[in-house]
Amino acid sequence: MARLPLFLLLTAPLLVAAQFGGGFFEHLFERGDQGQQQRQQDVGSDSSWYQQVFYQAHCSKYLCPGTLSCVDRATHCPCAFPNNEAKFELSDGAKICVSKTGKPDLIASRVELARKGLL
């Protein structure tokens, strides 16, 4: 029975530090360089990061502005989220990506109605 009070005496400071000191468990489970994980920072609110990546991308054909994919022509640009978006090519040569909510035939018919100016 003497082990339980001794155990509590030894672990109590750790529990208090974990609760009030903040960061004990965060640091315990961090990974990375020497047990420290770099905190990721939000992307800035301006477009400088995107512009830098855009201008550094090499493409001898057409560089898609939305995905930075290198394709033969603008209508070949993929949607940024193909699992969630359906791609439609318009008669003027443009393409649009529409959310895949609902039935595929319904999406196509709504795009056609919008194309005709009826929606």
- DSSP code string of 47-115: SHHHHHHHHH---SSEE-TTT--EESSGGGPPPSSTTTEEEEE-TTS-EEEEE--S-HHHHHHHHHHHH
Total domain count for the chain?
2
Structural domain includes residue 31: no
For residues 93 and 114, membership in a common domain is answered with yes
Q: Is the dihedral of CA 40, 41, 43, 49 positive or negative?
A: negative
Structural domain includes residue 63: yes
For residues 117 and 83, membership in a common domain is answered with yes
Grade residue 114 by pLDDT with cuts at 50, 70 and 90.
confident
Q: What is the pLDDT of residues 40-97, one digit of tens each?
A: 888 778 888 899 999 999 999 999 999 999 999 888 999 999 998 988 887 777 788 8
For residues 97 and 116, membership in a common domain is answered with yes
Alpha helices in 17-47 (DSSP H): 24-28
Structural domain includes residue 87: yes
Structural domain includes residue 93: yes
For residues 88 and 68, membership in a common domain is answered with no
- Is residue 31's pLDDT more than 70? no
For residues 88 and 110, membership in a common domain is answered with yes
For residues 85 and 112, membership in a common domain is answered with yes
- Is residue 16's pLDDT more than 60? no
Give the separation between CA 29 and CA 110, rounded to whole angstroms: 49
Per-residue pLDDT, averaged over 21-50, amounts to: 64
Structural domain includes residue 17: no
Per-residue pLDDT, averaged over 92-116, amounts to: 79
The residue range of the domain holding 104 is 79-119
Question: Does the model's pTM come out above 0.95?
Answer: no
CA angle, residues 27, 30, 34, in degrees to nearest 5: 95
Structural domain includes residue 109: yes
- Is residue 35's pLDDT more than 60? no
- Residue type (1 letter), 7: F
Give the separation between CA 88 and CA 111, rounded to whole angstroms: 8
Residue with tokens 């800035």: 44
